[in-house]
Structure 1
Amino acid sequence: MSSYDPSNADPEGGGKPSFDKQPPQPGANGSPYNGKPSDPGDYQGSYGGPAPGGSPYGSYGGAPGGVPQGGPPQIAGMPPLGTWPSRILARLIDYVLIQVVAFAVTLPISGFDRNGWTEGVWVYYALYLVYDGVMLSRDGQTLGKKVMNVRVAMLSDGSRPNRQAAWTRAAVFTVPAVLCCGLWWLVDGMFGVFDKPYRQCIHDKAAKTVVVSTN
């Protein structure tokens, strides 16, 4: 007769249940499906972000071509526009220089005779026309403009004015003044004050030039 030993008896299902080993938990030692993306979020790029290398259209909100909003349009190679105080002082310096030369030329010939002063005015206009045309043809600067750090430039690209532009500018500034004296210079200057965006006087419009800073 066999004896029953309860210690050797197996429960239903065969043997004692063991809790020593736990089944692997997802995420503890990696996915059991290693090598396969488990989620669309595994894509390395950020959703909705810019493509590698940046956007071909630049930053949002910028003006086309990189032109800053407000102010005169920027032309390639164009320095900043010259200020009105610098332009006016440059003209005054040139005016005084030419007056001194014209006076020195006419005084020995006519003395202080009234007709001599009339001749002096004609000499002044002629000298100023030649002086302005020659100096601007060389480097776009008269002596007054050199002192005030401004120069004349072509509107198209900011380069030195060519011979035709230089002499056109000088002629339109000087010749009408012979007919209406200094009134023409007042009208010419006021035109530039209200001109947008390049502050061009009438002689600038005629020659397609602008006055820019050399600083």
Structure 2
Amino acid sequence: MNARPPVLANPGRRLLAVVIDVVIAVVALSVLSAAIGLVVTLGRPADNSPFYLTLLAAVAMVFLYSPLLTAVCGGTVGKLICGLTVVRVADGRRLSYGTALARHLAHLGMWAVPVLSQLDALFCLWDRPYRQCLHDKAVGTLVLRTRMPAPSFQPPYPPVAAHPPVAMNPPAGS
């Protein structure tokens, strides 16, 4: 049984995964906010409960989307689409919910500090041997590429250009 060695995720795939996850979060919160706005317009509530519902949904996404998906599936929707998974450096196993939450909160905390957010994102460009970002180093995780492109094979037949042209007109004597 020859298992392929793990391949570290490249920074481009990691960035694409983050972009996908941000788009998902923005769309989800926008749809929810629009639905709440519709309820406010039609129902005219006298308090601020619609605002608090949107805020509650945003807080729920912080504690559920990335940490829960990372613990259960090995990564967020963006990471899974990009063929990436997050594992522990110590043993290569999936993260517990607590570790996934700590990783996500470290990531969000670094986003709150402008210079630190850029340093966190760029750190995987020069980090060796694991290409970890700072939020990965903080909790001892790394991101692996789990889906490899299919190998390219030569076709078992000659290319189309190698075939002689087929005569379309029948001979004149037939």
Q: Which amino acid in 2 is paired with 1:136?
A: T
Structure 2: segments with no counterpart, 5+ residues: 39-49, 148-174
Q: 1:126–1:163: structure 2 CA closer, same or farther, 3 Å change rule?
A: closer
- Which residue of structure 1 aligns with residue 15 of structure 2? 88
Q: Is the 8 A contact 1:154 1:210 kept in 2?
A: yes
Q: 1:199–1:157: structure 2 CA closer, same or farther, 3 Å change rule?
A: same
Q: Is the 8 A contact 2:11 2:124 kept in 1?
A: no
Q: Is the 8 A contact 1:86 1:148 kept in 2?
A: yes
Structure having greater relative contact order (Cα 8 Å, sep ≥ 6)? 2
Q: CA deviation at 1:206?
A: 1.4
- Which residue of structure 2 aligns with residue 57 of structure 1? none
Q: Is the 8 A contact 2:107 2:135 kept in 1?
A: yes
- Which residue of structure 2 aligns with residue 109 of structure 1? 36
Alignment partner of 1:97 is 2:24: yes
Q: Any idea what the Cα deviations from partners look like across 1:48-88, whole Å, max 9, x if unmatched?
A: xxxxxxxxxxxxxxxxxxxxxxxxxxxxx961101111111
- Which residue of structure 2 aligns with residue 212 of structure 1? 144
Q: Which amino acid in 1 is paired with 2:97?
A: R
Distance 1:124 1:165 in 2: 21
Alignment partner of 1:130 is 2:64: yes
Q: Secondary structure at the match of 2:8?
A: coil
Distance 1:109 1:184 in 2: 35
Distance 1:194 1:157 in 2: 23
Q: Any idea what the Cα deviations from partners look like across 1:168-213, whole Å, max 9, x if unmatched?
A: 1111112443x44x66532310122222211111110111000001
Q: CA deviation at 1:164?
A: 2.2
More helix by share: 2
Q: 1:143–1:186: structure 2 CA closer, same or farther, 3 Å change rule?
A: same
- Which residue of structure 2 aligns with residue 198 of structure 1? 130
Over aligned residues, Cα RMSD in angstroms? 3.0
Distance 1:81 1:149 in 2: 11
Percent identical across equivalent pairs?
28
Aligned residues: 133
Q: Secondary structure at the match of 1:158?
A: coil
Structure ID, larger Rg: 1
Q: Secondary structure at the match of 1:212?
A: strand
- Which residue of structure 2 aligns with residue 169 of structure 1? 103
Q: 1:204–1:190: structure 2 CA closer, same or farther, 3 Å change rule?
A: same
Matches within 5 A, 1:7-156: 79-110=6-37, 124=58, 127-156=61-90
TM-score under structure 2 normalisation?
0.64
Distance 1:141 1:210 in 2: 11
TM-score under structure 1 normalisation?
0.53
Q: Which amino acid in 2 is paired with 1:202?
A: L
Structure 1: segments with no counterpart, 5+ residues: 1-76
